[in-house]
Chain A
Amino acid sequence: MKGIVIGQYVPGKGFFYRVDPRTKIVAVLFLMIGTFLLNDIYQVIGALLLTFILLVIGKISFIKVMKGLKPILILLIFTFVFQILLNKEGALVLDSNLNISLINIAFVIGLFIVWRLLAKFKKFNFLLFIAFIVGSIFLFANVTISGDYLFTSFNFRIYEKGIEMSIFVVLRLLIIITLSTILTLTTKPTDLTQGLESLLRPLKKIGFNSDDFALIISISLRYIPTIFDEANKIMQAQASRGADFSEGKLKDKLKQVISLLIPMFIIAFMRSEELADAMGSRNFIPGKPRTRLHILEYSYRDVLVSMFTVAFFTIALLLRINVLGY
């Protein structure tokens, strides 16, 4: 539960903190569309550099954004690997036979055990894992010992286009995630919903109530940490009655899950009832117009952000049309 940065506001002072949330939402939306319009690897690298420049301008620590990438790291690796393996266009880069044989397999298993043992002590768990994978592929490809029993062998081919596309896709994902992280890192959830509400207001004409929608979103966002907190407390209360989630058999664990869920629900209902009472006693009436404590205002920063967005989007569009044109 700790260290989740995606969707987490981190208080700070920087350029993007003082940009109007509406501008930020629209800008991120268009920058993302713009990124998807790019279809050349050099353009994407350029866009990535621009994104990093944005980070520098906003004084957002690169490490924080990278930490936010952790949950989707597996997704990135999967897209990368599948692009490389499945794309069969362009010139051949690597062509070799993978020989799966008895000694090779035994050696790889040995390597795996060594990796598991090292993983306990090393911080560079992930790098070691990559080294392990690359090492075993190398082993399969190049080492054949006479007298070894061969199970099977297959062709391992990597094409130029495959490498290009895999890098392209990963970079594109990286840009999009960085952009959305900039938005959520620098915008308070309340500002975000206020911005959304204000952007969705025209939809009122077709019967969509943006006020209620924004209220629902902001209350749910507000209560995520509270619910985590409560769950933690319940877990501790049950653990002190001998229901520790990290010990015990599966059968016991099922019962323990129930002992967590029921108080969770009851507390959630109690909380919402209390909140409704508290809002009611302060004269909150759904749908009635209200004044705001913080009124959204545009400043020169919004103009700058909008200009950048329009420029980026137009260039992306022009590049796309151009490419289609010749």
Chain B
Amino acid sequence: MGIRFNEVSYTYNSFSDMEASAIYKISLDIKEKDEFIALVGHTGSGKTTLAKHMNALIFPTSGYMEIFGKKIEHKRNKKIKYNDIRQNVGLVFQFPEYQLFEETVLKDVMFGPMNFHIDKEEAKELAMNAIRLVGLDESYFERNPYNLSGGEKKRVSIAGILAMDPKILVLDEPTSGLDPAGKRVLMELFLNIHETTNKTVVIITHDMDLVYEYFNRVIVMNEGEKIYEGEPEKLFRNSALIEEYLDYPNSIKVLKHLNKTLKLDLDVFKKTADDVLAEIKKAVK
């Protein structure tokens, strides 16, 4: 079960004869449970296109994929209920403006569950929980979603998907446009959801600190192709790859800099600030 990509390519067609390939022959396995995956890469590397495939919003141009046992091919299959796939795989878009439309936050978050024919009271309950979960209190329930700040809108849009209680959660840059504290809160939230329910969470991010600290699997995309898949630990030891396509997390940067300037021999691969401190203390002694 879960999501399986089998040599999936997707091509955007345009009016001129050029065809822009967004992703090219991606094969990928995402289990239903116990995964915490980061999807990284430059802008335009095909991350969002990949994410949209995960709940069958767009169909592969070639190749096929299986989402919870349902085979998704180039053509829409009338026998498949695509709405069911979207209940199983929840995708949060990068820009919240594209989905908010109701007059109150609560109603907007209820829209998802109501589409899956959950009755009103239950949907309300789910929505309230989801809103609290993303760190907004009761005072937000009756507010107009368009009068919120960017970060609050983002949280509401995340709550809108969480309320659907999907089995797999896919988030397109959930922390972009948030302040550092907000980023932490949300990352802790996703980690918490992952740890308490064992749900698989896939997050698109540019933040290498987060990748190094939280995730147990990283997929690196470049120009539509998957160039790395595996543990972040191994990824950041692959200096050629990092220097060409990505960046080191701050902890590694700091320790590397210390090594270079003070001619020390510290172990640079430390995840948290405390680990870094411990390593430095060792050297000071």
Contact = CB atoms under 8 A, between A and B. Distances in A.
Contact of B164 (A230, A234, A242): A242
A240 B16 CA distance: 30
Contacts of A262: 101
Contacts of A243: 111, 115
A108 to B, nearest CB: 28
Interface in B218-265: none
B83 A248 contact: yes
Contacts of A259: 99, 101, 111
B68 interface: no
Interface residues of B, number: 30
Contacts of B95: 233
* Interface of A, helix, strand, loop or mixed by DSSP: helix
A230 B98 CA distance: 8
A270 B97 contact: yes
Of the candidates A238, A246, A258, the one having the most CB atoms from chain B within 10 angstroms of its own CB is A238
A8 B97 CA distance: 29
Interface string A256-284: 00110011001100100000000000000
Interface in B58-107: 58, 76, 81-83, 86-87, 90-91, 93, 95, 97-101
Of the candidates A237, A246, A248, the one having the most CB atoms from chain B within 10 angstroms of its own CB is A237
Contact of A241 (B52, B82, B161): B161
A241 B97 contact: no
Contacts of B93: 233, 236-237, 240
Contacts of A2: 13
A246 B83 CA distance: 10
A238 B83 contact: no
A241 B111 contact: yes
Nearest to A265: B101
A175 to B, nearest CB: 25
B245 to A, nearest CB: 27
Of the candidates B13, B52, B97, the one having the most CB atoms from chain A within 10 angstroms of its own CB is B97
A237 B111 CA distance: 12
Interface in A1-26: 2, 8, 10-11
Contact of B81 (A230, A239, A247, A252): A247
Contact of A239 (B86, B100, B101, B146): B86
A242 B115 contact: yes
A191 interface: no
Given A2-B13, A10-B15, A242 B112 contact: yes
A244 interface: yes
B207 to A, nearest CB: 23
A233 B52 CA distance: 11
Contacts of B164: 241-242
A247 B76 CA distance: 12
Given A2-B13, A10-B16, A244 B97 contact: no
Interface of A: 2, 8, 10-11, 230, 233-234, 236-244, 246-248, 252, 258-259, 262-263, 266-267, 270
Given A240-B57, A259-B101, 18 more contacts: A8-B15, A236-B52, A239-B57, A239-B82, A239-B86, A240-B91, A240-B93, A241-B112, A241-B115, A242-B86, A243-B115, A246-B76, A247-B83, A248-B83, A262-B101, A263-B99, A263-B100, A266-B146
24 contacts: A2-B13, A8-B15, A10-B15, A11-B16, A230-B98, A233-B93, A234-B98, A238-B99, A240-B86, A240-B90, A240-B91, A241-B111, A241-B112, A241-B115, A241-B160, A242-B86, A243-B111, A244-B86, A246-B82, A248-B115, A262-B101, A263-B98, A266-B146, A267-B97
